[in-house]
């Protein structure tokens, strides 16, 4: 006898047990559905569907036996294969949804962490790179050019007059360093507050200048404000990014 025959026989039984749906109807009206493993003149051995129990039933107790046809087994096997493919597809969809959820959750967590650190994005005013609207003394806005090279906040005299900032001319002038390394003379003042976006600094040292740094500009947003933040000028998103230290 071929030494592999028992293995093939076992595989056949397992496949039959899983795929076949033989039916044994008993005289008392009960029906057992499973896979018939063997038959003799006196008894029938059937494995109940699911493989939990194996019954040896006397022929005298059996009213009728219906065996699965080869076509039924093939159809059942195809149905199981289709179910497997559907389940696999569902699992893939679930995995995709889970991955998307995780990515969205991570994005939310990053945004929340940025907010917790005080990271704020401020769109440039009128689309002009580096220009932001700054609320001065909670009294009015001025268009300031972000200048990390400027030693302090600088406001033009015209803007100061518009905002009601008191300028004392006889206080003397101070030298203010600009981004290009040049120096300008200006009158020192202390602003109650400067607010850009949601970022606010109080008691800001500033200087009042007679000249504007550019067309339509009211001054410079210098280091007496910016020193409290990590500063980034984002050209891709056209905004100023401020993150508290």
Q: 137 and 46: one domain?
A: no
Q: 124 and 205: one domain?
A: yes
Tell me the three state secondary structure of residue 136. Answer: strand
User: Strand pairing partners for 38?
Assistant: 45
Q: 63 and 128: one domain?
A: no
Structure tokens at 35: 């896979």
Alpha helix positions (H), the chain: 5-19, 70-116, 157-163, 223-226
Digit-by-digit pLDDT tens for the chain (245 residues) are 555 444 333 333 444 444 447 888 888 888 888 888 888 888 888 887 665 678 788 888 889 988 877 666 677 677 767 777 777 777 777 777 777 777 787 777 777 666 656 678 899 999 999 999 999 999 999 999 999 988 899 999 999 999 999 888 766 788 877 666 777 788 999 999 999 998 999 999 999 998 888 899 999 999 999 999 999 999 999 999 998 87
Establish if 180 belongs to a structural domain.
yes
Tell me the three state secondary structure of residue 20. Answer: coil
Establish if 153 belongs to a structural domain.
yes
Strands (E), 110-228: 119-123, 131-136, 140-146, 153-156, 174-177, 183-196, 199-209, 219-221
> pTM for the complete prediction?
0.52
Total of domains in the chain = 2
Q: 214 and 150: one domain?
A: yes
CATH number for the domain including 157?
2.40.70.10
Q: 125 and 63: one domain?
A: no
User: Strand pairing partners for 155?
Assistant: 208, 219
Structural domain of residue 38, as residue ranges? 5-70
- CB-side neighbour CA atoms (13 Å) of 110: 6
Residue 39: how many CB atoms within 10 A of its CB? 13
For residues 224 and 205, give the distance between their C-alpha atoms in angstroms, rounded to a whole number: 6
Output the CA torsion 24→25→27→28 (10° steps).
110
Establish if 101 belongs to a structural domain.
no
């Amino acid at each position: 006898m071929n030494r592999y025959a028992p293995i093939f026989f076992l595989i056949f039984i397992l496949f039959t047990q899983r795929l076949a749906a033989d039916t044994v109807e008993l005289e008392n009206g009960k029906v057992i559905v499973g896979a018939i493993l063997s038959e003799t003149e006196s008894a029938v051995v059937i494995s109940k569907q699911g493989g939990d129990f194996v019954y040896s039933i006397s022929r005298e107790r059996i009213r009728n036996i219906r065996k699965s046809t080869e076509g039924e087994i093939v159809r059942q096997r195809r149905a199981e294969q289709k179910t497997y493919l559907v389940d696999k597809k569902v699992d893939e969809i679930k995995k995709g949804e889970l991955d998307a959820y995780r990515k969205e959750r991570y994005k939310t967590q990053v945004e929340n962490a940025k907010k917790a650190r005080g990271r704020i994005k401020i769109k440039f005013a009128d689309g002009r790179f580096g220009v932001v609207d700054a609320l001065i003394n909670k009294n009015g806005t001025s268009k300031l050019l972000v200048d990390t090279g400027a030693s302090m906040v600088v406001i033009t005299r015209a803007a100061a007059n518009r905002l009601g900032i008191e300028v004392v001319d006889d206080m003397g002038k101070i030298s203010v360093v600009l981004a290009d390394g040049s120096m300008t003379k200006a009158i020192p003042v202390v602003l109650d507050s400067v607010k850009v976006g949601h970022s606010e600094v109080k008691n800001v040292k500033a200087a009042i200048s007679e000249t504007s740094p550019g067309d339509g500009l009211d001054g410079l947003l210098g280091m007496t404000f910016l020193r409290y933040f990590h500063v980034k000028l984002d050209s891709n998103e056209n905004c100023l990014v401020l993150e508290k230290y």
